[in-house]
Amino acid sequence: MDTYIPAEYEVVRNPDLCIACRVCERQCANEVHSYDKDLGKMIADSGKCVNCHRCVCLCPTHALKIVKSDDTYRLNSNWSVQTMNEVYRQANSGGVLLSSMGNPNDYPVYFNKILVNASQVTNPPIDPLREPMETQVFLGKKDVEIKRDMEGKLVDTLPPQLKLKYPIMFSAMSYGSISYNAHESLARAAEELGIYYNTGEGGLHKDFYKYSKNTIVQVASGRFGVHEDYLSAAAAIEIKMGQGAKPGIGGHLPGMKISDDVSQTRMIPKGVDAISPAPHHDIYSIEDLRQLIYSLKEATAYTKPIIVKVAAVHNVAAIASGIARSGADIIAIDGFRGGTGAAPTRIRDNVGIPIELALAQVDERLRQEGIRDNVSVVVAGSIHSSADVVKAIALGADACYIGTAALLALGCHLCRSCHLGKCNWGIATQRADLVRRLNPDIGYKRLVNLVTAWGHEIQEMMGGMGINSIEALRGNRLMLRGVGLNESELRILGIHHAGESM
Amino acid sequence: MKRIYVNEKWCLGCHLCEYECAFANSGLDKMFKLKGRMGELVTPRIKVEGEDKGEIHFAVNCRHCTGSICVQSCIAGALSKTDDGMVVIDKNKCVGCFTCVLVCPFGAIMPSPDGKAAQKCMLCTDNVKGEPNCVKYCPNNAIVYEER
């Protein structure tokens, strides 16, 4: 704690309701609450509170709330409280500021400025409860040649595909950044849902090979945990070139999160910081990328699609075009709102572009160049709801990755303190007593519920548009209209303003 | 018979079960009215074993043992087994000798707060909850109520 910085949040306890059961005290890894024997009541040290709401949720008498402190510096429209505090923190530590989860700042969320169409009178809506409504998608290259054998029968030349029951996958979150139980929840949910989860760059724990049919394994610049069995176990392999929360830089897993198990899975020493370099040291061009893609394909006998994940940056369309020509089967684009277990604050809050704009431009460029079918496009970076999924698909995506939403389903309250390793919800921690708080039996069910619910909503929205399959929605930008967007934004998104017809 | 089982792997040692138990058996309509009355009005029939900062915690309440030693040792005939195997106590018959408290290998029977009779978990069949309140409010499924 920096003595220059007053508590941002205040723990408020209703003394009439508190029965001093001390659940809050036992559940707070930040040691905010304690029982004062002299006073005979519970007290709280708000300065230590990260506002994760664990105590609020578990308080059996609802005696607690956490409020934004009304303590204030002299009001100043130029120097915000946050900016001042950041200066204090750096003056105290001399270090780079670290943050967790996605960019929380007040940038536009374009999904919220896009509206979806519905059928009226002339083209009837479809009721998904009564008629078939296809949410299944296949990810992979679709550029098949038509080949016939000697007898004139069609030869199957379709490259390997990923089959998803819903156009939703769980984003890459490494074992190390999140806990064993969080990983187990994601893996089991992916299996039950018929979708995929992604190991992130932390390797695949030996216990989770049994979920390998629903596992995407990642090969990132640190190459942590990459070995033959890891690659051959997976349903698909993702090469991580960049991450939306921190484009242009690598990763940094603090040593205290490298437990025995994490160290074994990552194949690195215990307790030592795990640094992934900013670039892949063997990739400095699309040609180099192509070499890695084909190395991985060769290693797995051309049986698995290769995903290349990049952060949404200013010339993402040209980059995607290069990737589409490099032999990749799927491009994943991560927008600037994407989450992270830890990123330098300045990078997270100032680098990258919104996923909606990146997606629209990538889809447009790939179509113009006639190579859209070379790849599937998966988007990530703050997909908040099923409506965002529908809008993303109409803008041209094949599927979406959800990371933050999945963690919320597991209990995350976005306190954005993952980098401290003391997650009270048992998600972003390796401390055994905290990891235990996330029972995968509960966690996986909540994830299944979330995606199933979104699936229903996607069906309802598609039905309303008179569309009965995801295929017919993809890139269907006429189903979208912008509100409150300027000409450039509309042009980039490739959509009309609300009120304009065809 | 459906019984309460504990899974120490998932027990957080939060002690919520103890308070939910006490509330269920208190006859109060709001939990916060327990304030300052634990021990005097009501004591929990479930107890979390394990130190606060320790590695292992688990909640213990009546196991409803087959061949229940408490039933055998009851001199007043207050403890008995129902047809489906639940060990029940009739407080009106209990003379407060607490032999059952002595013999219970789990420490799952204890004197009630008034000290006049013994008390034990009867799976919330003896209060308005009707189903085990500790199970219902365990935040991590560490206590389950099931047939095995």
Q: What is the CATH number of the domain that holds B41?
A: 3.30.70
Residue B19: which of A60, A63, A439 has the nearest Cβ? A60
Q: Report the C-alpha gap between A474 and A393 in whole angstroms.
A: 5
Do A397 and A378 touch, CB atoms closer than 8 A? yes
- CA dist., res. B56 & res. A197, Å (int): 31
* AA letter at A232: S
Average pLDDT value for residue range A451-478: 96
Q: Give A-chain residues touching B141 at CB under 8 angstroms.
A: 439, 441-442
Chosen from B8, B11, B19 to mutate, greatest number of chain A CBs within 10 A = B19
ipTM of the complex: 0.92
Same domain, B82 and B116: yes
Alpha carbon distances (Å) from B36 to A11, A27, B23, B39: 22, 22, 12, 8
Question: Is the same domain home to B110 and B82?
Answer: yes
Place of tokens 């084909």: A294
Q: Tens of pLDDT along A403-441?
A: 999 999 999 999 999 989 999 999 999 999 999 999 999
Contacts (Cβ under 8 Å, ≥6 apart) of A78: none
| Structure tokens belonging to residue A46 | 């708000």
- Return the beta strands (E) in A375-421 as ranges: 376-380, 399-402
Confidence category of residue B53, pLDDT binned at 50, 70, 90: confident
Are B95 and B116 contained in the same domain? yes
Looking at the complex, does the CB of residue A41 fall below 8 Å from at least one CB of chain B? no
CATH of the domain at B85: 3.30.70.20
Q: Tell me the residue type at A282.
A: D
DSSP E strand boundaries for A338-488 = 343-344, 376-380, 399-402, 480-482
**Residues in chain B whose Cβ is within 8 Å of chain A:** 9-10, 12-16, 18-20, 23, 30-32, 34-36, 38, 52, 55, 137, 139-142
| Residue pair A103/A404 in contact by the 8 Å Cβ criterion | no
- The residue ranges of every structural domain in chain A are 9-95, 137-384+399-462
Chain A CB contacts of B137 under 8 Å are: 60
Give the minimum alpha-carbon distance from A418 to chain B in angstroms, rounded to a whole number: 20
Q: Tell whether B46 and B24 lie within a shared domain.
A: yes
Q: Is the CATH code 3.20.20.70 the one for domain A137-384+399-462?
A: yes
Cα–Cα distance between A354 and A367 in angstroms, integer?
Answer: 20
B94 plus B128 within the same structural domain: no
- Same domain? For B52 and B81 the reply is no
pLDDT band, very low/low/confident/very high, at A1 (cuts 50, 70, 90): low
What letter represents residue A139's amino acid? L
Q: Do A19 and B20 touch (CB under 8 A)?
A: no
Chain B interface includes A433 (CB < 8 A): yes
Co-location of B73 and B116 in the same domain: yes
**Phi and psi dihedrals of A199, rounded to 5?**
-70, -15
Domain count for chain B: 2
Chain-centroid distance of CA A98 in Å reads 18
Per the document, the length of chain B is 148
CATH classification code of A9-95: 3.30.70.20
Whether residues B139 and B116 share a domain: the answer is no
List the single range of A137-151, A159-173, A389-403 with lowest mean pLDDT: A137-151
Query: Residue A481 pLDDT > 90, yes or no?
Result: yes
pTM of the model: 0.95
Amino acid at A481: R
Q: What is the pLDDT of residue A252?
A: 80
**Do B99 and B137 belong together in one domain?**
no
- Say which DSSP state A202 is in: G
Domain hosting residue B39, numbered range = 1-61+124-148
Q: Looking at the structure, do residues B23 and B74 belong to the same domain, yes or no?
A: no
Report the C-alpha gap between A387 and A168 in whole angstroms. 12
B57/B101 same-domain check: no
pLDDT at A144: 74
Predicted confidence band of residue A15 (pLDDT cuts 50, 70, 90): very high
A27 touching B (Cβ < 8 Å): yes
Residue from the list A26, A61, A439 with its beta carbon closest to the beta carbon of B10: A439
Same domain, B69 and B42: no
Closest CA to A312 of A376, A255, A360, A266: A360
